[in-house]
Amino acid sequence: MAAKKASPDLLNSSFSFKSLKLKTKQQELLLRVSILGLVYVLAFIARLFSVLRYESMIHEFDPYFNYRTTLFLTEKGFYEFWNWFDSESWYPLGRIIGGTLYPGLMVTAALIYWTLRFLRFFVHIREVCVLTAPFFASNTTLVAYFFGKEIWDTGAGLVAAALIAICPGYISRSVAGSYDNEAVAIFALLLTFYLFVKAVKTGSLSWALGSAFGYFYMVSAWGGYVFIINLVPLYVLVLLITGRYSMRLYVAYNCMYILGMLLAMQIRFVGFQHVQSGEHMAAMGVFLLMQVFYFLDWVKHQLNDTKLFQTFLRITVTSAILVGGIALGVGTASGYISPWTGRFYSLLDPTYAKDHIPIIASVSEHQPTAWSSFMFDYHILLFLFPAGLYFCFKRLSDATIFIVMYGLTSLYFAGVMVRLILVATPAVCLISAIAVSATVKNLTSLLRTKQKVPQTGSTKGVGSSKSSSKVTLDQSQPFHKNGAIALLVGVFYLLSRYAIHCTWVTSEAYSSPSIVLAARGAHGNRIIFDDYREAYYWLRQNTPTDAKVMSWWDYGYQITAMGNRTVIVDNNTWNNTHIATVGRAMSSYEDEAYDIMRSLDVNYVLVVFGGVTGYSSDDINKFLWMVRIGGGVYPVIKEPDYLVNGEFRVDKGASPKMLNCLMYKLCYYRFGELVTEYGKPTGYDRARGVEIGNKDIKLEHLEEAYTTSNWIVRVYRVKPPTNML
Amino acid sequence: MTMAINKKLLSLLLLVSSLSSIASASFSDPDSDSDLTNELASLRSNSESGVIHLDDHGISKFLISSPTPRPYSILLFFDATQLHSKTELRLQELRREFGLVSATFLANNNGSDLNKLFFCEIEFSRSQSSFQRFGVNALPHIRLVTGSTAKLSDESGQMDQSDFARLAESMAEFVEQRTKLTVGPIQRPPFLSKAQISVIVAMIVIATPFVIKRILRGETLLHDHRLWLSGAIFIYFFSVAGTMHNIIRKMPMFLQDRNDPNKLVFFYQGSGMQLGAEGFAVGFLYTVVGLLLAFVTNVLVRVRNLNVQRLVMLVALVVSSWAVKQVVYLDNWKTGYGIHPYWPSSWQ
């Protein structure tokens, strides 16, 4: 946005400040830098609601694993971390941590920690972990600024930075405490794209090199790098088809692909997948196609005869496609190229996961997106997006083609899975920013022309805007002024609504740690349920150090990180059979479950129960997924056994199998004696709003060890087998 | 609906089923066995994909009056034409899959095994009393009547919900488990027939040189901005309208109000769920506002006629503000959130 030009009278009147007065360009720079600085700070502080409201702590489930590994990294050093075999999870299998994680996040946090220590700031590693996500969100706004500047102009860059700083779609995964891979990955993703677009624009090796390193950082941080390695080739392909092939593109793509591939293969979790798995084949195919294009260009240069060239072209293109097809076919058939993974396939054919992979379909963030979620996470950006698309098409360049493709593909994926809204957020912000910036620029330049016309009689001021400047008819000016003011007011009203929406959503919806629960009491006061940590610290203090705890996989990471005890399964769902075994134990009768638990050396069983507090995401509500996942491997577990006429019930009408399975018994043990709500019978389940069906529960092989103050977590001890003598 | 009728006739059912079991136990004759088998086989050869259409008469002939143990089993699909409109029951889809299993069974078996299992269907409106006899009061329902099944109301042969969850494949597994016969891998008809494929391939081959020529000249549809733009807008609309949600969850366009069947429910309250028409309506509102903005700032300014300009501008402003208001209102209603600004606490 251009700064105001100082008028001559003003200069004269404030003569004493003349020496301090900045030139227009300097003024603009100052404005821009200060706006960016403010946005940078804003992005950080908007994410601190959770720290202010609760305390500085790690949120949710996966972040606890990341925290635990980061702690290990800072204590034991990088090589120990890299070769770490973790025997505390997936008992008795264990897990090779170094080879099965993306280390980018942990290494980043450790580097920040070591830097701070070096500068003599003695912070705790937990604080670093908690604040990593907001810090990287701030950095993302900077990248968004440069990206916006690259594809449109500085105005669009500034607007994009401001929009992305508070966009709920991004905040949802980057509030203080959500120490997860996405926290740094979105920064890396946008950086890679920015550098690649820059490389295509300039054709310079150094930008391409930069984008290769950006890609490396992304690969080290998140599995979502697959999106980059498919979007970039797709983009190159579109440029090739639409006849935008250039030497710049050749340099940028080849350098980025080859270097990026070599670097990515250094990450153990990726390794040779990068050249062998089906998801990465598109990139390789486009790479080969690039060489064909280059070769053709060279031959065309050598041959001056067009007819000869046409024939040559036909032969080359046909044979290239043939060879490529045969190579792919042979590779797939011989097993050298692995087929697509289920997760990837479920993006292209969204109904796939539901039918074939219950463990993916069961996760709430893998659900398809309804329109209200889009509205919640994007608000007015959704209205601005089509306008932005229109502007991009009006001014097509290599850069705008990229942002349009990025926006559309990611928006499609966001429709398939709720969590992918995150990936689409930067693109939506950038495209909407183009709409806002271009509109505001057009309108303000119109307004300013009017003011100047009577004074100077020149129309120089409109030079910047392209389309609107064509109308400089005198009689249309009164309309333009009114209309422009009305439109401007409308736009600023919308933007202010956006700010209000984002603040509210951040504060109310996205800042709860989910490990500490909050509810409103009868008098509007805030009640805190800290049962999870209570239970985990109990485990840590009161159980033998080699005790094995069985729980549903959601709580695995938290138990190992906070309770410091060995678990059977955790959130890294790499072994479906093992999870199904736990699911089977939970859905069997107690004596059958006891055999399974004995075979897994289980000492304690932990269940999460919301019947007293009305907490709805407890194990009873997750129970059908345990049955489904268990039944997927062990056909003795059948879902209809737990349903009555296709309905899941826990009251008197529940199926007998349901009323006597281990999960039911552990959740509702002694619950029949309890009055939870005034005016209701004993054993009234507040999460499901029914009186339970089995109030007289006797446990034979297990005994209650600990129940937290609000009954949310219940821990049971598995009794040793009775003495044979 | 079926349930209501069934309850009325429950007493009749008990009577009939007890009578039928007495009747079936009374005589047994090997000659009539093979006659029945042959008749079934000939019926099968006349029917599409080998699914025999039975009615009350057929049921009593092949299942009730025939003595146990019968030399054949019958897998029976219960259909009701009047319920085809209820898409959530998936009757037509299941019936198609049932036909596939039958066709596969026919293709993979010959000789003696072929006549051990017959695939049949009965339709509710024409065979109500048979539905009563089987005690079927909810659809979809598939029942295996083995040779030794004496009482038709015996529900042990019922195929569970989970057995047709994976359609034909899981139905086949069920049949193989229960009858010890092999069905074999399901042979689905290819998406395109061979003739169609060859025509398409021929067309592609013929078109290729022309396409290459035009690509080289740079004048294909691919070079048309407007096409790309409308494609882009379409993808945008497709995504934000939650169409993927509708496809994956198989959501209907609208629901019938439970209290008042004449009233249709177009909007579902509760976030994370939506109905088909709801998504399209909101997606349309999103798109309209965005396109109007682009139109006003890019196209309208070129219009020379002042009055037209004013009018269109006014309309655009009114429509956009109405659409935004509507979406925000709907969102607040649907999610139940009351979004409000935070004022400094000293102001209150």
Chain B residue with CA closest to A507: the answer is B342
Chain B residue with CA closest to A487: the answer is B317
Question: Cα(B123)–Cα(B128) distance, rounded to whole angstroms?
Answer: 8
Q: How far is CA A18 from the centre of its chain?
A: 51
Specify the 3-state DSSP secondary structure of A719.
Answer: coil
- Highest mean predicted confidence (pLDDT) among A325-334, A657-666, B116-125: A657-666
- How high is the pLDDT of residue B190? 65
Which of A382, A383, A468 minimises the CB distance to B301?
A: A468
Which of A494, A504, A638 minimises the CB distance to B160?
A: A638
- How high is the pLDDT of residue A456? 37
Do B59 and B130 meet the contact criterion of CB atoms below 8 Å apart? yes
CA distance A179 to chain B (A): 25
Q: Is B313 exposed, middle or buried (0-12, 13-18, 19+ CB in 10 A)?
A: buried
Question: Cα(A712)–Cα(A689) distance, rounded to whole angstroms?
Answer: 16
Chain B partners within 8 Å of A241 (Cβ) = 215, 222
Instruction: Tell me the two tokens of residue A654.
Output: 């529940």
Instruction: Tell me the two tokens of residue B193.
Output: 């027939």
Spatial CA neighbour of A71 closest among A61, A58, A60, A59: A58
Which of B216, B232, B331 minimises the CB distance to A389?
A: B232
**H-state helical runs in A555-643:** 556-558, 576-587, 590-599, 619-633
Question: Cα(A235)–Cα(A700) distance, rounded to whole angstroms?
Answer: 63
Chain A residue with CA closest to B161: the answer is A640
Confidence of residue A45 (pLDDT cuts 50, 70, 90): very high
- How high is the pLDDT of residue A461? 34
| A374 in contact with B, Cβ within 8 Å | yes
Specify the 3-state DSSP secondary structure of A548.
Answer: strand
- Cα of first residue to Cα of last residue in chain B, in angstroms, is 59
pLDDT, tens only, A22-40 = 788 899 999 999 999 999 9
Q: What is the mean pLDDT of residues A543-552?
A: 93
CA distance B308 to chain A (A): 11
Instruction: Tell me the two tokens of residue B113.
Output: 């095994």
Token look-up 């006797």 returns A698
Spatial CA neighbour of A674 closest among A691, A660, A661: A691
Instruction: Please tell me the total number of residues recorded for chain B in this structure.
Output: 348
What contacts 24+ positions apart, CB below 8 Å, involve B221-227?
Answer: B222/A241, B222/A242, B223/A242, B223/A243, B225/A393, B225/A396
Q: Is B15 exposed, middle or buried (0-12, 13-18, 19+ CB in 10 A)?
A: exposed
Cβ distance A383 to B229 less than 8 Å, yes or no, reads no
Q: Which helix (H) or strand (E) holds A714?
A: strand A713-718
Chain A partners within 8 Å of B281 (Cβ) = none
* pTM tops 0.80: no
CA distance A378 to chain B (A): 10
Lowest mean pLDDT among A223-237, A504-518, B165-179: B165-179
Chain A partners within 8 Å of B232 (Cβ) = 389, 393, 404, 408
CA distance B155 to chain A (A): 14
pLDDT, tens only, A117-162 = 999 999 999 999 999 999 999 999 999 999 999 999 999 999 999 9
Q: Which residues between 321 and 360 in chain A have a beta carbon less than 8 angstroms from any beta carbon of chain B?
A: 350-351, 354-355
Lowest mean pLDDT among A451-455, A653-657, B64-68, B116-120: A451-455
Token look-up 């209907």 returns B252
Question: Cα(A36)–Cα(A165) distance, rounded to whole angstroms?
Answer: 10
- How high is the pLDDT of residue A361? 67
In angstroms and rounded to an integer, the radius of gyration of the C-alpha atoms of chain A is: 30
Cβ distance A470 to B301 less than 8 Å, yes or no, reads yes
- How high is the pLDDT of residue A480? 63
- How high is the pLDDT of residue A463? 34
Chain A residue with CA closest to B160: the answer is A640
CA distance A645 to chain B (A): 10
Q: Say yes or no to pLDDT of B191 above 50.
A: yes
pLDDT, tens only, A69-92 = 999 999 999 999 999 998 888 888
Cβ distance B294 to A442 less than 8 Å, yes or no, reads no
Confidence of residue B23 (pLDDT cuts 50, 70, 90): very low
Instruction: Tell me the two tokens of residue A175.
Output: 């509030």
Q: Say yes or no to pLDDT of B174 above 60.
A: yes
CA distance A515 to chain B (A): 22
Cβ distance A476 to B162 less than 8 Å, yes or no, reads no
Cα B295-B300-B306 angle, rounded to 5 deg: 155
Q: CA-CA distances (angstroms) from residue A498 to A377, A701, B286, B328?
A: 11, 57, 15, 11
Q: Say yes or no to pLDDT of A41 above 90.
A: yes
Give percent of chain A above pLDDT 70: 89
Chain A partners within 8 Å of B327 (Cβ) = 375
CA distance B72 to chain A (A): 28
- How high is the pLDDT of residue A694? 87
Cβ distance B294 to A386 less than 8 Å, yes or no, reads yes
Question: Cα(A50)–Cα(B342) distance, rounded to whole angstroms?
Answer: 16
A contact test, residue of B301, B312, B342 with most A CBs within 10 A: B301
- How high is the pLDDT of residue A472? 40
Give percent of chain A above pLDDT 90: 50
Phi/psi of residue A517, nearest 5 degrees: -100, 145
- How high is the pLDDT of residue A354? 61
- How high is the pLDDT of residue A10? 44
Name the residue with higher pLDDT: A597 or A327: A597
Question: Cα(B53)–Cα(B57) distance, rounded to whole angstroms?
Answer: 11
Do A427 and A410 meet the contact criterion of CB atoms below 8 Å apart? yes
Instruction: Tell me the two tokens of residue B199.
Output: 């025509």
- How high is the pLDDT of residue A562? 92
| A479 in contact with B, Cβ within 8 Å | yes
Name the residue with higher pLDDT: B15 or A100: A100
Cα A175-A179-A183 angle, rounded to 5 deg: 70
**Kind of pairing, strands A548-550 and A566-567?**
parallel
Token look-up 């807008």 returns B233
Question: Cα(B277)–Cα(B104) distance, rounded to whole angstroms?
Answer: 39
Q: Say yes or no to pLDDT of A337 above 60.
A: yes
Which of B215, B293, B341 minimises the CB distance to A439?
A: B293
Fold of A528-718: Rossmann fold (3.40.50)
Name the residue with higher pLDDT: A130 or A14: A130
Confidence of residue B218 (pLDDT cuts 50, 70, 90): low
| A633 in contact with B, Cβ within 8 Å | no
Q: What is the mean pLDDT of residues A538-543?
A: 94
User: What would the 3-class secondary structure string for chain B be?
Assistant: CHHHHHHHCHHHHHHHHHHHHHHHHHCCCHHHHHHHHHHHHHHHHHCHHHEEEECHHHHHHHHHCCCCCCCCEEEEEEECHHHCCCHHHCHHHHHHHHHHHHHHHHHHCCHHHHHHEEEEEEECCCCHHHHHHHCCCCCCEEEEECCCCCCCCCHHHECCHHHHCCHHHHHHHHHHHHHCCCCCCCCCCCCCCHHHHHHHHHHHHHHHHHHHHHHHHCCCHHHCHHHHHHHHHHHHHHHHCCHHHHHHHCCCCCEECCCCCCCEECCCCCCCCCCHHHHHHHHHHHHHHHHHHHHHHHCHHHCCCHHHHHHHHHHHHHHHHHHHHHHHHHHHHHHCCCCCCCCCHHHC
Cα A291-A292-A297 angle, rounded to 5 deg: 95
Question: Cα(B17)–Cα(B9) distance, rounded to whole angstroms?
Answer: 12
- How high is the pLDDT of residue B145? 81
What does pLDDT average to over chain A? Answer: 86
pLDDT, tens only, A454-486 = 433 333 333 333 333 333 444 444 556 777 788
Chain A residue with CA closest to B237: the answer is A386
Phi/psi of residue A342, nearest 5 degrees: -60, -40
- How high is the pLDDT of residue A359? 62
User: What would the 3-class secondary structure string for A468-507 be?
Assistant: HHHCCCHHHHHHHHHHHHHHHHHHHHHHHHHHHHHHHHHH
- How high is the pLDDT of residue B251? 78
Do A666 and A702 meet the contact criterion of CB atoms below 8 Å apart? yes
Do A119 and A136 meet the contact criterion of CB atoms below 8 Å apart? no
Lowest mean pLDDT among A525-539, B102-116, B275-289: B102-116
CA distance B11 to chain A (A): 22
What does pLDDT average to over chain B? Answer: 76
Cβ distance A350 to B248 less than 8 Å, yes or no, reads yes
Confidence of residue A8 (pLDDT cuts 50, 70, 90): very low
Which ipTM was obtained for this model? 0.79
Chain A partners within 8 Å of B279 (Cβ) = 370-371
**Kind of pairing, strands B117-123 and A713-718?**
unpaired
| A492 in contact with B, Cβ within 8 Å | no
- How high is the pLDDT of residue A358? 65
Specify the 3-state DSSP secondary structure of A277.
Answer: strand
Which of B241, B302, B339 minimises the CB distance to A504?
A: B339
- How high is the pLDDT of residue A241? 79
Lowest mean pLDDT among A64-68, A279-283, A485-489, B172-176: B172-176
Cβ distance A390 to B298 less than 8 Å, yes or no, reads yes
- How high is the pLDDT of residue A476? 45
Token look-up 């009593």 returns B60
Chain A residue with CA closest to B226: the answer is A393
Lowest mean pLDDT among A183-192, A357-366, A612-621: A357-366
Name the residue with higher pLDDT: A376 or B101: A376
- How high is the pLDDT of residue A357? 63
Cβ distance A350 to B247 less than 8 Å, yes or no, reads yes
Q: What is the mean pLDDT of residues B62-87?
A: 79
Chain B residue with CA closest to A379: the answer is B328
| A375 in contact with B, Cβ within 8 Å | yes
Q: Given strand B51-54, what is the order of strands in its sheet?
A: B51-54, B117-123, B73-79, B141-145
Lowest mean pLDDT among A416-430, A454-468, A620-634, B196-210: A454-468
Confidence of residue B139 (pLDDT cuts 50, 70, 90): confident
What are the boundaries of each domain within chain A?
24-277+338-436, 528-718
Chain B residue with CA closest to A405: the answer is B232
- How high is the pLDDT of residue A131? 95
Q: What is the mean pLDDT of residues A539-556?
A: 93
Q: Say yes or no to pLDDT of B166 above 80.
A: no
Which of A354, A371, A393 minimises the CB distance to B248?
A: A354
Q: Which residues between 409 and 428 in chain A have a beta carbon less than 8 angstroms from any beta carbon of chain B?
A: 411-412, 414-416
pLDDT, tens only, A228-279 = 999 999 999 989 877 788 899 999 999 999 999 999 999 988 889 888 888 8
Token look-up 């008809």 returns B189
- Residue A441's contacts (CB-CB under 8 Å, 6 or more residues apart) are A1, A153, A155, A464, A465
Q: What is the mean pLDDT of residues A556-563?
A: 92
Chain B partners within 8 Å of A638 (Cβ) = 160, 162
pLDDT, tens only, A668-713 = 999 988 888 888 888 899 888 888 988 888 998 999 999 999 999 9
Name the residue with higher pLDDT: A396 or A21: A396
pLDDT, tens only, A174-226 = 999 999 999 899 999 999 999 999 999 999 999 999 999 999 999 999 988 99
Name the residue with higher pLDDT: B149 or A578: A578
- How high is the pLDDT of residue B14? 47
